[in-house]
Amino acid sequence: MVSFDVHDGELFGLVGPDGAGKTTLFRLLVSLIKPDSGSSLVLGLDPVRDLWALRRRVGYMPGRFSLYTDLSVRENLEFFAAVCSTSVEEGYDTIAPIYRQIERFADRRAGALSGGMKQKLALSCALVHRPDILFLDEPTTGVDALSRREFWDLLDSLRASGLTTIVSTPYMDEAMRCDRVALLQAGRILAIDAPEAIGARFPRALFGVSVRERSTVLNALRQFPTVASAYPFGDTVHVSDTRADISESVVMQELEAHLRHAGFSDIVITRIDAGIEDVFIELMGVPQGAVAA
Amino acid sequence: MITIQARELTRTFGTFTAVNAISFEVHRGEVFGFLGANGAGKTTAIRMLTGLLAPSGGEAQVAGFDIKHEPARVRERIGYMSQRFSLYDDLTVRENIRLYGGIYGLSDAEIAARGDRLLDQLSFADNATALVRSLPLGWKQKLAFSVALLHKPAVVFLDEPTGGVDPVTRRQFWELIYRAADDGTTVFVTTHYLDEAEYCDRVSIMVDGRIAALGTPAALKAQLNAKDLDEVFVRLARGAEQS
């Protein structure tokens, strides 16, 4: 049971792992499946009652590559335009910023495109009928970091044109490029907010700890009696303490003494701001003991 | 001790050079991140290092064996796990363990003993008879990793092991990786999550068939004056596109 609003012209992110319910939510909103209960309105239309009116006005890029691999780039585009009773020419201005990047491959079979180009073609096909709202289901999964960044640059230009866009991603860092995000886990929304505001929801002071002997530091920190959470973030461990009534500098001194006593060296402890991933983990509510599976 | 040594390793397909004279070494118990853009040559390099594809030039030793002349020996001494393919969905947890143990030539007694230990370590004993299909993704991946270590390989190759899993499961997975490395297993891992590459002892970044950068995450960041590995990666990959 999820409830949320997306505003006109917003770039809205659904962030969560596989199985969180992102794809099911998209399929409900674009009228491909019916809800067991509850309802939604997309562009003021009910996806169950008004599905044909709605389908003409939404653009949808499903998670898996959904184009016809045996048709050429141009033929795919023409097909999707024809299905929506329009033509590539009529939609050209809308797709131009994206389609121009692959236009020189217009005669190539879609199946023979690189991953990044497939993605641009799929986006062009989702836009060719000039939709009023765009749904993108994990458009950057399996794509390398540079192509991901370029794809988000394209989404920025779509946002500038005023198009409402809902995009899902398992990558927490991509949430930062949305106007607002919903964090999704196991079919429920953990939080909805502007990405910068989500970090502030972390309920305790957070510290970054790094040491030379990093493979054993996690367990050492979890053995500290008042540690509330300890999770690795690359070469740093993010740690918080249950005691709200103790000053941060005292906590830092105690952690350092604990680690030094346990034989660690090159200990660096700093106060850090929580990010989306810290908050996501916190809101998932996993008991600390379950971590060392 | 060195578990992977590549010297001028090269693979061409017709006129296209997928891997262009790469040289590097990976030490025993090291967690080595093997990064690169799609199409940079990572998969071709991994297929050579796992004894599945003969090099066109250069040489490499993996776990003490030559990949060109002794590929079967190499394959016996390595483990492999990828996000796309690892376990059989239609078999139970225990059947998967038995199958892989058999493929790697373990005796029935060894399979039983190591299988029990594996299930115990993952707290999976209650699920031994569950079909793999019915397991949550994160469990499958942890199980697949442990199964890839069943025959105690010198090196385990992990190809995008954590795609799509939640942030807690990703971290549990990395704890398993560290534990394996502490036990002396060399871990060779590819990922598109650049924040995850920061967990590695050293990373290499492939661009257009060559290794464009190699070092500890801290050293690479310092070298390119970048705030994180994502920035390092994008700058190297973008440089290649413009050249």
In this predicted structure, the answer to whether residue A29 has a pLDDT above a threshold of 60 is: yes
- Across the interface, do B198 and A281 touch by the CB < 8 Å criterion? no
pLDDT at B241: 61
- pLDDT tier at A291 (50, 70, 90 boundaries)? very low
**Cα(B152)–Cα(B174) distance, rounded to whole angstroms?**
18
pLDDT at A235: 84
Instruction: Give the mean model confidence (pLDDT) for residues B23-31.
Output: 97
pLDDT at A168: 95
**More confident call, B41 vs A213:** B41
pLDDT at B38: 82
- pLDDT tier at A179 (50, 70, 90 boundaries)? very high
Q: Which of B37, B167, B218 sits opposite A144 (nearest CB)?
A: B37
Distance from the Cα of A52 to chain B's closest Cα (Å) equals 33
pLDDT at B136: 85
- Across the interface, do B169 and A17 touch by the CB < 8 Å criterion? yes
pLDDT tens digits, B97-142? 999 999 999 999 999 999 999 999 888 888 899 999 998 888 898 9
Distance from the Cα of B60 to chain A's closest Cα (Å) equals 27
In this predicted structure, the answer to whether residue B27 has a pLDDT above a threshold of 60 is: yes
**More confident call, B30 vs B164:** B30
Longest dimension (CA), chain A: 73
In this predicted structure, the answer to whether residue B243 has a pLDDT above a threshold of 60 is: no
- Across the interface, do A215 and B137 touch by the CB < 8 Å criterion? no
In this predicted structure, the answer to whether residue B212 has a pLDDT above a threshold of 50 is: yes
In this predicted structure, the answer to whether residue A243 has a pLDDT above a threshold of 90 is: yes
pLDDT at B145: 94
Distance from the Cα of A98 to chain B's closest Cα (Å) equals 18
Chain A environment of B137 (Cβ under 8 Å): 17-19
- pLDDT tier at B242 (50, 70, 90 boundaries)? low
Give the ipTM.
0.81
pLDDT tens digits, B154-183? 999 999 888 878 888 889 899 899 999 999
Closest CA to B23 of B65, B63, B57: B57
- Across the interface, do A218 and B172 touch by the CB < 8 Å criterion? no
- Rounded to two decimals, the pTM is 0.87
pLDDT tens digits, A47-106? 999 999 999 999 999 987 788 999 999 999 999 999 988 999 999 999 998 999 899 999
Question: SS3 string of chain A?
Answer: CCCCCCCCCCEEEEECCCCCCHHHHHHHHCCCCCCCCCCCCECCECCCCCHHHHHCCEEEECCCCCCCCCCEHHHHHHHHHHHCCCCHHHHHHHHHHHHCCCHHHCCCEHHHCCHHHHHHHHHHHHHCCCCCEEEECCCCCCCCHHHHHHHHHHHHHHHHCCCEEEEEECCHHHHHHCCEEEEEECCEEEEEECHHHHHHHCCCCEEEEECCCCCCHHHHHHCCCCEEEEEEECCEEEEEECCCCCCHHHHHHHHHHHHHHCCCCCCEEEEECCCHHHHHHHHHCCCHHHCCC
Size of interface A-B (CB pairs under 8 A): 100
Distances (CA, A) of B67 to A43, A94, B56, B98, B127: 59, 52, 12, 27, 38
Instruction: Give the mean model confidence (pLDDT) for residues B62-70.
Output: 97
- pLDDT tier at A292 (50, 70, 90 boundaries)? very low
- Across the interface, do B37 and A171 touch by the CB < 8 Å criterion? no
- How much is the mean pLDDT over chain A? 91
Percent of chain A with pLDDT over 90: 77
pLDDT tens digits, A118-156? 889 999 999 999 999 999 999 988 788 888 888 999 999
Instruction: Give the mean model confidence (pLDDT) for residues B18-37.
Output: 96
pLDDT at A242: 94
Long-range contacts of A111-116 (CB under 8 A, 24+ apart): A111/A69, A111/A70, A113/A73, A114/B38, A114/B39, A115/A142, A115/A143, A115/A147, A115/B38, A115/B39, A116/A143, A116/A147, A116/A150, A116/A151, A116/B38
Instruction: Give the mean model confidence (pLDDT) for residues A155-162.
Output: 92
Q: Which of B38, B172, B234 sits opposite A114 (nearest CB)?
A: B38
pLDDT at B39: 84
pLDDT at A293: 35
- pLDDT tier at B192 (50, 70, 90 boundaries)? confident
In this predicted structure, the answer to whether residue A290 has a pLDDT above a threshold of 50 is: no
Q: Which of B138, B164, B168 sits opposite A170 (nearest CB)?
A: B164
In this predicted structure, the answer to whether residue A287 has a pLDDT above a threshold of 60 is: no
